[in-house]
Amino acid sequence: MIVTRFAPSPTGYLHIGGLRTALYSYLWARKNGGKFLLRIEDTDEARNSVEAAQAIIEAFKWVGMEHDGEILYQSRRREIYTRYIEQLLEEGKAYRCYMSKEELESIREAQKAAKERPRYPGTYRDFTGTPPAGIEPVIRIKAPTEGHIRVDDGIKGSIDFPVADMLDDFIIARADGSPTYNFVVAIDDALMGVTDVIRGDDHLSNTPKQIVVYNALGFKVPKFFHVAMINNPEGKKLSKRDGATDVMAYDTMGYLPEALLNFLVRLGWSHGDQEIFSREEMLTLFDPNHINNSSSSFNQEKLDWLNAHYIKNMPNVELAHRLVPFGVDLKGHDKIEMILDLLKERAKTMVHLKALIDELLIAPRVYDETAAQKALKGDAIEVLKAFRTRLAASTALHLPSDYHVLMEATIGELGVGFGKIGMPLRVALLGAMTGPAIDAVMAVLGIESTLARIDSFIAWQATH
């Protein structure tokens, strides 16, 4: 069985890059009928863990991703780690190091000055004498001193890390007894039964250390997939300065979770030429072995395009429902279908769609000057008045075509072109030169509102 996990450190919110690796992990587990676990890495900053977990759960909920089982908090697993530390101590695979921070620091300085790699020299590795007084020891693990550690990565291939150039006897427990990251990660992954670790590229150089721990404890090393980072449009690492990195900010901005997920799944992974992936398709097609090995840049235009696509293709009932959190309540409006059909293909985001709905449903307070000027050329106002008269005399108009007939009749009577009626009407009803088909706008507004808007405009132009 495939078991994956997402193991964020509690920094406050779910990062867009984190969501991608979480998504990959989720898809891979679910595709194989396995498990997708969640673990909070709060060995150090225990204070934020509750909020962080909630923020992550909230984001997971928003995109419709669910983890299996209970959330694991590393801060609550101290005894487990302590037990393994003691085990390693007893087996002679780890040892107490009494070197003071100051001494360690001066050694590092000397090494740097000599242009050597800063590393712990192994002073207490085989120490048997009496330890110096007054120093709380840290626990170091005995790492190999030569040869290579091989990481078989599902994305990068097989990588050989030369031990001499990158490892030393690293600390697995601090002076206060608390375990360190690389130690607990390996233990938890092993204990949780994680078979496939899908995580960010930035953990690649941690992997040899974790393998040392796996080996010392006799655990089976999982399969690793190190996904390259997401860069900003300038090609640099994505940071808070690049605008939205918080997943939930995309909700606020009016992005649909399915669009964001589709965008992220395609950012670094592909399936031939396919661009649009439903949840079901992701689930059946995703394969971490086809993840691209180079880093990628976040590009807003494509997200916008995807978002527009999902808005456009969403059933109106569903769309109306999703619009509620954005402050749009169309419940009870008898023209919901017409309104949404008219506007959804013009919206890039839900926020945009709300704006479009408001523009349609709320009578214009101001008229675009240049638009009005253009629309009122010649005897346009007379045409508008003629139309108004016809409209006032009409009853039972429902469809756009009903209003269209009325427009045709007006210009037929006056012997003018369609533009003579279309433009003035457009400005009168919407206050601008652009917008949805004008007959459809009238069908949405109904006779009363349409008349009112025309009258307002006529009154306005009389004073201009």
Partner RNA sequence: GGCUCCAUCAUCUAACGGUUAGGAUCUCAGGUUUUCAUCCUGGUCACAGGGGUUCAAAUCCCCUUGGAGUCACCA
**Residues with active-site annotation:** 240
Stretch that binds RNA, among 38-46, 243-251, 389-397, 451-459 (CB under 7 A): 38-46
Q: Which residues are registered as beta bridge partners of 151?
A: 159
- Show contacts with RNA in window 66-85 (CB under 7 A): 74
How far is CA 365 from its chain centroid?
38
Q: Which residue has the tokens 């025309």?
A: 454
d(CA 80, CA 363): 66
Q: Which is nearer to RNA, 90 or 176 (CB)?
A: 176
Judged by CB under 7 A, does residue 45 bind RNA? Answer: yes
3-state secondary structure of 44: coil
Q: Which residue has the tokens 């985001």?
A: 349
Judged by CB under 7 A, does residue 51 bind RNA? Answer: no
Per-residue binding letters, 160-189, with RNA (x by CB under 7 A):
xxx--xx----x--xxx-x-xxx-------
Q: Which residues are registered as beta bridge partners of 297?
A: 231
List helix spans (H) across 115-206.
163-166, 181-191
Residue 428 neighbours by CB under 8 Å, 6+ apart: 384, 453, 454, 456, 457, 458
d(CA 108, CA 86): 28
d(CA 463, CA 385): 16
Stretch that binds RNA, among 26-34, 84-92, 246-254, 414-422 (CB under 7 A): 414-422
Let me know: does 426 contact 420? Beta carbons within 8 Å. no
- Show contacts with RNA in window 203-232 (CB under 7 A): 203-206, 228-229, 231
| Phi-psi category of residue 314: left, alpha or beta, with phi > 0 → left and psi -120 to 50 → alpha | beta
Let me know: does 142 contact 169? Beta carbons within 8 Å. yes
Let me know: does 95 contact 172? Beta carbons within 8 Å. no
Q: Which is nearer to RNA, 34 or 192 (CB)?
A: 192
- Which of 48, 100, 215, 232: binder of RNA (CB under 7 A)? 100
Judged by CB under 7 A, does residue 142 bind RNA? Answer: no
Stretch that binds RNA, among 77-85, 126-134, 270-278, 327-335 (CB under 7 A): 270-278
- Which of 188, 189, 258, 439: binder of RNA (CB under 7 A)? 439
- Show contacts with RNA in window 5-24 (CB under 7 A): 9
Of residues 399, 287, 388, 406, the one with CA closest to residue 341: 399
Judged by CB under 7 A, does residue 237 bind RNA? Answer: yes
In the complex, minimum distance from the CB of residue 89 to RNA, in angstroms, rounded to a whole number: 16
Judged by CB under 7 A, does residue 275 bind RNA? Answer: yes
Judged by CB under 7 A, does residue 290 bind RNA? Answer: yes
Q: Which is nearer to RNA, 30 or 352 (CB)?
A: 352
- Which of 299, 373, 389, 401: binder of RNA (CB under 7 A)? 299
- Which of 215, 232, 270, 449: binder of RNA (CB under 7 A)? 270
Q: Which is nearer to RNA, 166 or 285 (CB)?
A: 166
Stretch that binds RNA, among 51-59, 88-96, 304-312, 387-395 (CB under 7 A): 304-312
Size of the site for RNA (CB under 7 A): 81
Judged by CB under 7 A, does residue 436 bind RNA? Answer: yes
List helix spans (H) across 313-366.
316-323, 336-343, 350-361
Strands 196-200 and 138-141 turn out to be unpaired
Let me know: does 41 contact 10? Beta carbons within 8 Å. yes
Judged by CB under 7 A, does residue 44 bind RNA? Answer: yes
- Show contacts with RNA in window 316-355 (CB under 7 A): 345-346
- Which of 145, 252, 284, 293: binder of RNA (CB under 7 A)? 293
